[in-house]
Amino acid sequence: MSTLILGFLTSLIISFIATPYVKNLAVKVGAVDTPNQRKVHTRIMPRMGGLAIYIGYLVAFFLFVPHTSMSEMLGIFIGSTIVMVVGMLDDKYQLSPKWKLLGQLVATAIVVIPFGLKIGVVNLPYSGSIDFSSGWLVWLAIPITMFWIVGVTNAVNLIDGLDGLSAGVSAIAAGTMGVMALLMDDYKVSAYCFVLLGAILGFLYFNFHPARLFMGDTGSLFLGFNLAALSIMGFKEALFVSFIIPIVVLGVPLWDTFFAIVRRIVNKKPISSPDKGHLHHCLLNMGLSHRSTVLTIYSISIFFGTMAILLTKTTKWTTIIVMVALLIVIHLGTEIVGLVSRRHRPLINAYRRIKIKQTEQQRRTN
């Protein structure tokens, strides 16, 4: 436990000290974010702040995280370093989406193929399990794992729209996975998560509203990649419904990304087209302040994290009931804030129709 605390404090302090220097470097090299119609900030801001997170993480990783040559843990480090460099290049030169995706695929292929990080056994409720670690399913595990890592990486990148939002949500996810790894006696994953958590919090002091710099793609791609890879490493051999837990832990970015895709399909727009319909935009449109919006999404993330921890201790039937309830709550929340559109609200509209019919029946009765 003392090693976990030391790793956390080391990454936090180094990240905190490094952030002002990274800010000056970003300004010097021209890695700045200019306002436009899709962004919330109104002045030029230095980005590439994720480099400070990486520096704190880098030092603490080699000091406190157990790893050996060709281990999965070292593979995650190498892969996350590659996506961090891709993010730095994007913050400076504004890479096209295809080059960013190529960099993510290369990083993911490295951690999956030579270092062997792949999904293992997926336990299905009352339907047995699917073992992706043997037979021909081994080859299916590779594309599924790569799809998950690239998908989560971009999901975390997409929620980076307000001061401290992506960093805070990532910190909550990393802390949740760290606690869950401790409960499962997985010291390696726990140590990695707490090192990552410390590095994020050291930077978040400068990134929370009003931010002094943004972490940019340097930080969001780096954090997304780490969270995706850790979710596989931490839960691939668990004896619970293993495909559910990582989804719940990363609930906010996955929720926002999924309904962003639905929104663009409903509105007949390209899936990759940017817009101002993300969760944080919707909350701002409802009248919440910048800080209140971020704190609201933090609260939602903490709720998801708490539910993920509780799900590891429940029976299969309870897990199914809780997941159905969560899906209903998510869908209602989506309709209330207008995450898809103000018109596309099937549950709310159905409820209103029922109320109207009840009112008409009462009038006829009276």
Q: Which segments are annotated as binding site for Mg(2+)?
A: 157, 217
Question: Are 64 and 222 contacting, i.e. CB atoms less than 8 angstroms apart?
Answer: no
Evaluate the CA torsion angle 319, 323, 326, 328 in order and state its sign. Answer: negative
- Cα atoms found within 13 Å of the Cα of residue 310, Cβ hemisphere only: 12
**Beta-bridge partner residues of 130:** 122
How crowded is residue 261: how many other Cβ atoms within 10 Å of its Cβ?
11
Tokens for 218, please give them.
Answer: 């340097």
Question: Which residues fall in the annotated binding site?
Answer: 157, 217
Cβ atoms within 10 A of the Cβ of 129, count? 13
Burial profile 75-106: b = 16 or more Cβ within 10 angstroms, e = fewer: bbbebbbbbbbbbbbbbbeebeeeebeebbee
Instruction: Tell me the three state secondary structure of residue 33.
Output: strand
CA distances to 109, 131, 135, 229, 356 from 141, in Å? 12, 9, 11, 14, 50
| DSSP string of 121-162, one letter each residue | EEEPTTS-EEETTSTTHHHHHHHHHHHHHHHHHHHHHHTTTS
Say whether the peptide bond before residue 210 is cis (omega within 30 degrees of 0): yes
Residue 72 CA to residue 145 CA, distance in Å, equals 13
Contact indicator for 184, 120 with CB cutoff of 8 Å: no
For the chain, the C-alpha Rg in angstroms (whole number) is 21
